[in-house]
Structure 1
Amino acid sequence: MGNLESVGSPALWGGFIAFVIAMLALDLGVFHRKAHVVKFKEALGWSAVWISLALLFNAGVWWKFGAEPGMQFLTGYLIEKSLSVDNIFVFVVIFSAMRIPALYQHRVLFWGILSALVLRAIMIFAGVAMLERFHWLIYVFGAFLIVTGVKLFLQRNKEDHPEDGWLMKFARRTIPSTSTFHGHHFFAKENARWLATPLFMALMLVEASDVLFALDSIPAIFAVTRDPFIVFTSNIFAILGLRSMFFLLAGAVEKFSYLKVGLSAVLVFVGAKMAAVDFVKIPPALSLGIIATLLGASIVASLVKNRNAQPASKPLPEAHEV
């Protein structure tokens, strides 16, 4: 574990945070200065950029600190990346239910994910501190992940309606708002009153959903490592690539019908691994292999199901008497 002590040096923390700020500034200030519909080709390019940067960073961790931290980052990134796909299902529902134009969806996701970076950092440091002080919490986290995985499996076909939840009802009662869009603005003045636009309401739901998903994903990566730098960087790389992945997969999420089964299996596995950490030691490489296999199998099964699905048969033309 000696290498892990060097991973979180102040220089590395400062360099990584500066990198994140620079990439966010480049994203919003250069490539998305003007609101536009993000097309598939653009989303594919940005997805490739974020994944490449994450893997390059992973190679740097592997080279500087050794195989174990490198494997932990890769496993954590894979867990966070796969669980973030579940966010996409919810984001699609939010934007559809609130009729957010495709032109402004990137802006909502950008600010939602920016706040998510701060919230994740707070939750990660709080989680590490709690686990260091109260070791028994690791069993609680493990049990929570197992229950969450089982619940996700049982409710895999249930439709989400976040726009009808208690948060939105409370917000509509307490925050003066309008149903009228005012371009890309979150607030606008109507009749001398400042009102929240539908974009702000959608932003609230995006942020709330990310907090809920963080309750699953952060304990999940604690089953891999408790090093705050590895946990934080793998989380952040997964979140930074979430927007481009949304525009890449938003129109195809329904095709991955078995993905939630794979995600539920991953949560149960990492929960069991966490709960049994003092009794059973699972090598990082084996954990990575199991998680990749579970996710890969669910994706392949989904694709096979779609390929084998027969198109609805067209009705035969009516016979006419001669």
Structure 2
Amino acid sequence: MSETPLAFMIITLAVLAVFFVVDLFVIGRKPHVPSTKECLQHIAFFVAAALVFGGILWLVAGSQPAIEFYSGWLTEYSLSIDNLFVFVIIMSNFAVPRQLQKYVLSVGITIALILRGIFILVGVTLITKFTWVFFIFGAFLLYTAYKVARGEDADEEYHENALVRNLRKIMRITDEYDGEHLRVKRQGVSYFTPMLIVFLAIGTTDVMFAFDSIPAIFGLTHDPFIVFTTNVFALLGLQQLYFLLGAMLDKLAYLPIGLSVVLAFIGCKLILEALHDNTLPFINGGKPIEAVPEVPTWLSLVVIVLSIGLAALASLVKARRDNLPRLQEHK
């Protein structure tokens, strides 16, 4: 159960709903390419909002929920940045006009929030009734960490999944976009525009993102309120982050390594927790293993901050070194 007062949760969800609607459907509906200044202002606002919310949560519910929120938010935000690689590839693959990309992202992020909400509800039900599911979550995160470290998730080319490929075979789809329209009429015949395919591509990709992010956040907190708010704060401002980092994502060379460390750490934490609360009959006779250490939440926060921070710093140093020869050539 959540330690947070019900009134505070209701007010928070109402405010987040307003933030989300304004960010995606008021600002996000303007078909334009945001300037660097606009992107920085929006990102700074939402990052500050997350930091302030964590502080208020500390005052209202105590240090434990606040530390869980900060740990979860940093993890989800880092995963969102990594996921922008895929968004860039999808937009490029389907040749989405730059002025329409903001609208596409608005719809994609909305789909992501809905899917994550469903996964959170399912996850809460699973961990409440079956504590052994942490073994599965932990193993999955360790496998994901291995793939991320090897660069297997950083494919430079988007491959259409079976749903999108089959859709092309059974539906009339034009080759050109027509603004934000999903359907157009040509000589009395109705066609779908490529916008439909883009939405499906991003939506089905969001499902895969949820498989990574939801087990990760449940490794840091079991509070569904904190799980949901960390996901919302990680998605707010993602449009602007896309345009700000779109040309710079290749410079974040060591971000996957930092993420793999975080995911591996959370995976190990989940497995230790599963052993500590063990109910499986073939492990220690179905009895909890009390000798298994519990990883404190503050340690999770330290590991996440150091892993992501050092990965970002190392990436910036590498990018600067790579640019030195070009600068010397211009001189």
Normalising by structure 2, what TM-score?
Answer: 0.88
Question: Residues 222 and 197 of structure 1: is their aligned pair in 2 closer, same or farther, counting only changes over 3 Å?
Answer: same
Task: Measure, in 2, the Cα distance between the counterparts of 1:225 and 1:157.
Answer: 26
What 5-or-longer segments of structure 2 have no aligned partner?
277-291
| Residue 233 (structure 1) shift | 0.5
Which blocks of at least 5 consecutive residues in structure 1 are unaligned?
316-322
The partner residue of 2:263 within 256, 267, 270 is: 267
1:148-159 map, 5 Å: 148-156=144-152, 158-159=154-155
2:137 equivalent in structure 1: 141
**2:321 corresponds to which of 284, 302, 308:** 308
After TM superposition, give the deviation of residue 190 of structure 1 in Å: 2.5
| Separation (CA, whole Å) in 2 of partners of 1:29 and 1:121 | 19
Residue 284 of structure 1: aligned partner = 297
Please report how far the alpha carbon of residue 32 of structure 1 lies from its aligned counterpart in structure 2 after TM superposition.
Answer: 4.0
Q: Deviations over 1:63-88 (max 9, x none)?
A: 10000000000000000000111110
Which stretch of the first structure deviates more once superposed, 165-174 or 154-163?
154-163
Identity, in percent, stands at 38
**Would you say the 8 A contact 2:138–2:271 is kept in 1?**
yes
Contact 2:75–2:217, Cα closer than 8 Å, also in 1: yes
Instruction: Name the counterpart of 1:319.
Output: none
Superposition deviation, residue 12 in structure 1: 4.0
CA distance in 2, matches of 1:175, 1:163: 19
Please report the RMSD computed on the Cα atoms of aligned residues, expressed in angstroms.
2.0
Residue 59 of structure 1, CA deviation? 1.2
Q: Which residue of 2 aligns with 1:7?
A: 4
Bigger shift: 232-241 or 186-195? 186-195
Report the 3-state secondary structure (helix = DSSP H, G, I; strand = E; otherwise coil) of the residue aligned with 1:188: strand
Q: Does 1:43 align with 2:39?
A: yes
For the 8 Å contact 1:72–1:284, the answer to whether it is kept is: yes
Q: Within 2, Cα distance between the matches of 1:56 and 1:208?
A: 33
Contact 1:224 1:284 in 2 (8 A): yes
Counterpart position of 2:224: 228
Report how far residue 8 of structure 1 moved.
6.7
SS in 2 for 1:164: coil
1:115 to 111, 117, 125: 111
| TM-score computed with the length of structure 1 as normaliser | 0.90
Q: For 1:218 and 1:101, how far apart are their aligned partners in 2?
A: 32
SS in 2 for 1:194: strand
One-letter identity of the residue aligned with 2:297: P
- AA aligned opposite 1:131: I
Distance of 1:84 and 1:174 partners within structure 2: 33
The residue that corresponds to 1:318 in the other structure is none
Q: Is the 8 A contact 1:139 1:274 kept in 2?
A: yes
* 2:250 equivalent in structure 1: 254
Give the conservation status (yes or no) of the 8 Å contact 2:2–2:225: no
Aligned residue-pair number: 311
1:216 matched to 2:216? The reply is no
Which residue of 1 is the match for residue 309 of structure 2?
296
Q: Is contact 1:82-1:263 (8 Å) kept?
A: yes
Contact 1:80 1:217 in 2 (8 A): yes
Stretch moving more, 13-22 or 80-89: 13-22
Are 1:16 and 2:29 counterparts?
A: no
Q: How far is the alpha carbon of 1:270 from its aligned partner?
A: 0.6
Secondary structure at 1:7 match in 2? coil
Asked if the contact 1:262–1:295 (Cα under 8 Å) also holds between the matched residues in 2, the reply is yes
Tell which deviates more after alignment, 190-199 or 245-254: 190-199
Change in Cα spacing, 1:14 to 1:191, as seen in structure 2 (3 Å) is farther
**Alpha carbons of 1:286 and 1:255: their partners in 2 closer, same or farther (altered >3 Å)?**
same
Counterpart among 178, 186, 191 of residue 187 in structure 2: 191
